Structure 1
Amino acid sequence: MAVKHATPVTVSLADLGSNTVSAATLTQAFGPDSLGILVVRDLSPAFLQLRRRVLLNASHLAALPSTTLLRLRNPDAKYLVGWSHGVETLSPGTIDTSKGSYYINCAFYQDPTLNGADGMKFPGFEEYTAANIWPNDVDIPGFRSDAEKLISLIIDTAVLVARACDRFASAEIEGYEAGYLERVVKQSQTTKARLLHYFPIEHAGINGHPNGVNDSMAEETQKEENGVDDYWCTTHLDHGCLTGLTNAMFIDESSAELLELPTPPDPTSGLYIQSRSGKVHKVTIPEDCLAFQTGEALELITQGKFKAVPHFVKGVNPMSCTPGSRIARNTLAVFTQPNLDEPVDLVSGLNFGEFARGVVKKNTVH
């Protein structure tokens, strides 16, 4: 695949906070000819250390014994709370074993005593109402504290991005509810975080953690020949409003002392997005920045004026790596989403809970 690099629109946190990001800049980020992604720089001084600790912890988590990982799963929550691996299908008929996920309900952003949305108010939505499952501090010291701090920082930033989006939408969309997206991001109890660990390509097991070697290189080669280059994560849309993303951490897991790499050994590996005009570009998020892209719920809410961003992740070709190395990729995504009873389609009356239930059913192995 010929790689086309794109530089996303970048703004400072201070400019977002002072509401001085121009309409032209917002159009470049989210308009009809845009990438549909905005990068925010000059974050809190705490960000870089939190990012490093949390993303390294994704590798520590994936390396826990399979018996421990099984205890961190919640089938009743459709595996969308705690550890998840080998239970998701993003392409028809294909179970995703290339990455493991640790899902976190983010109601704590509203109230530190909350582990999830109100189960009495939203029965049957355990994926949003079930209590979070945390590894203990003996297995991974500080896992919960660091994750909650980083997620809160990302949501704080998402509030400001949402405010800017509201200004753009109010000018472009007739009848748009003033301040809608900012309110959703600030008040939602159903925002979901996903700590992602993409296993080294030669390893992909099911259930607990990778426990065997598959011919993944052959699978990757076949995908390349078929014009598909998304082994680590197939092309998909996020179903929330705004997704906050950290820069990905590439790690050599071949030794007990995890080594963070300054760049991936395969320069074609990483995040790719499809722009509003349909062109596919590789996008690199700077280490000290956050990126925000739009999802399906926002597309529904804005009647298509904001488009959800199709994106995928290309894996590291082992032929690009030092012999014996095992290159993994870790990142954190925070999906800011409406509360379950919030309408997302004013024409049909569809609320976010009903919409999300359909997406989860389609993407989860039964």
Structure 2
Amino acid sequence: MSAIEYTPEGAVVISYQALVLAPETLGPAIEKAFGSHPSSLGIVVIRDVPKEYQEYRKKLLGLAYHFGNLDEKEIMNGKPDTLKGSYYANPIEANVEVAAAEKAEFPEYYGTNIWPNKDFEGLEDFEKSFRNLSRLIFDVGCKLACACQPFASQHLNDSTISLADLIRTSYTTKARLLHYFPPSPDAPAPSDDDPVDSWCGFHLDHSLLTGLCPVCLPAVLN
């Protein structure tokens, strides 16, 4: 059994090849990453991902810069958000019949994607690029879920539950482009009646796994 690999900051590192070829050998690394030990960070860094990843990442994050000049009707609540730039979509759409009452109760989950108008110069390939990167991350996440199964099964009452299947069969998968702007020194503090969306640090993660990719700095994009 090979030693667990770490980043300089202490996050567990797993190779993509190990996820694909030998997920059953990753138990100690998974437990170190997601266990209850004080040094467990809840993070796994996947290295040596498929070569398409860098291409997809650079393409999508380059297109994301165009969001700064959208028409007013394309901006949430009709006004610019000075705290963050944020865009959500479901990259793994499925044609599933859902009861109208459930759709009405959870509109954030069952709403259809709203893609930028393809008439916007520079955003013609946005939807394709968004799906490409999101689906690659989704696929890696499913493989990581398989590696997590033995560890998770120890804590599940129902041993038939498959983490990977829960992810694969979900029709509420979300992908997000997000950038936090540095706050202005003279910006007023949020008031109690501000919409929740204005609370930059407020969010509720209730997914099984969240896949992240690092930012692309302008020097890399150019």
Task: Name the TM-score class by shorter chain.
Answer: 0.7 to 0.9
Query: Are 2:27 and 2:148, in contact at CA under 8 Å, matched by a contact in 1?
Result: no
The 3-state SS of whatever aligns with 1:150 is helix
Superposition pairs of residues 192-211 of structure 1, within 5 angstroms: 192-202=174-184
Equivalent residue number for residue 41 of structure 2: 35
- Between the aligned partners of 1:28 and 1:194, the Cα distance in structure 2 is 27
The 3-state SS of whatever aligns with 2:86 is strand
- Between the aligned partners of 1:160 and 1:84, the Cα distance in structure 2 is 40
Match of 2:87 among 83, 102, 123: 102
| CA deviation map 1:12-40 (0-9, x unaligned) | 11211222443211111111120011111
Aligned-pair Cα RMSD in Å: 3.1
Query: Using CA pairs below 8 Å that are at least 6 residues apart, which structure has the higher relative contact order?
Result: 2
For these two proteins, the number of residue pairs brought into alignment is 200
TM-score between the two structures when normalised by the length of structure 1: 0.48
Match of 1:138 among 103, 110, 119: 119
Counterpart amino acid of residue 115 in structure 2: W
Counterpart amino acid of residue 101 in structure 1: S
Equivalent residue number for residue 187 of structure 1: 169
User: Do the aligned partners of residues 65 and 235 (structure 1) sit closer, same or farther apart at CA in structure 2, a change above 3 Å counting?
Assistant: closer
Match of 1:14 among 9, 17, 28: 17
Query: Are 1:119 and 1:129, in contact at CA under 8 Å, matched by a contact in 2?
Result: no
Query: Are 1:58 and 1:197, in contact at CA under 8 Å, matched by a contact in 2?
Result: no
- Between the aligned partners of 1:135 and 1:31, the Cα distance in structure 2 is 40
- Between the aligned partners of 2:180 and 2:41, the Cα distance in structure 1 is 24
| CA deviation map 1:47-71 (0-9, x unaligned) | 101111111222211332334x23x
Q: Which has the higher helix share?
A: 2
User: Do the aligned partners of residues 84 and 159 (structure 1) sit closer, same or farther apart at CA in structure 2, a change above 3 Å counting?
Assistant: farther
- Between the aligned partners of 1:25 and 1:185, the Cα distance in structure 2 is 21
| CA deviation map 1:209-266 (0-9, x unaligned) | xxxxx625x97xxxxxxxxxxxx94275522221111112344xxxxxxx448xxxxx
Superposition pairs of residues 273-284 of structure 1, within 5 angstroms: none
Query: Are 1:23 and 1:168, in contact at CA under 8 Å, matched by a contact in 2?
Result: yes
- Between the aligned partners of 2:10 and 2:178, the Cα distance in structure 1 is 24
Query: Are 1:117 and 1:190, in contact at CA under 8 Å, matched by a contact in 2?
Result: no
Match of 2:211 among 240, 244, 262: 244
| CA deviation map 1:71-126 (0-9, x unaligned) | xx5x7xxxxxxx9965xxxxxxxxxx411211102342xx4xx4x87364733122
- Between the aligned partners of 2:150 and 2:101, the Cα distance in structure 1 is 32
Query: Are 1:119 and 1:130, in contact at CA under 8 Å, matched by a contact in 2?
Result: no
Q: Which moved more, 1:116-125 or 1:239-248?
A: 116-125
Gaps of 5+ in 1: 76-82, 87-96, 203-213, 220-231, 252-258, 262-366
| CA deviation map 1:313-358 (0-9, x unaligned) | xxxxxxxxxxxxxxxxxxxxxxxxxxxxxxxxxxxxxxxxxxxxxx
Equivalent residue number for residue 141 of structure 2: 158
Query: Are 2:24 and 2:147, in contact at CA under 8 Å, matched by a contact in 1?
Result: no
User: Do the aligned partners of residues 53 and 24 (structure 1) sit closer, same or farther apart at CA in structure 2, a change above 3 Å counting?
Assistant: same
Match of 2:98 among 96, 113, 118: 118
1:46 matched to 2:52? The reply is yes
- Between the aligned partners of 2:143 and 2:79, the Cα distance in structure 1 is 31
Counterpart amino acid of residue 159 in structure 2: E
Equivalent residue number for residue 148 of structure 1: 131
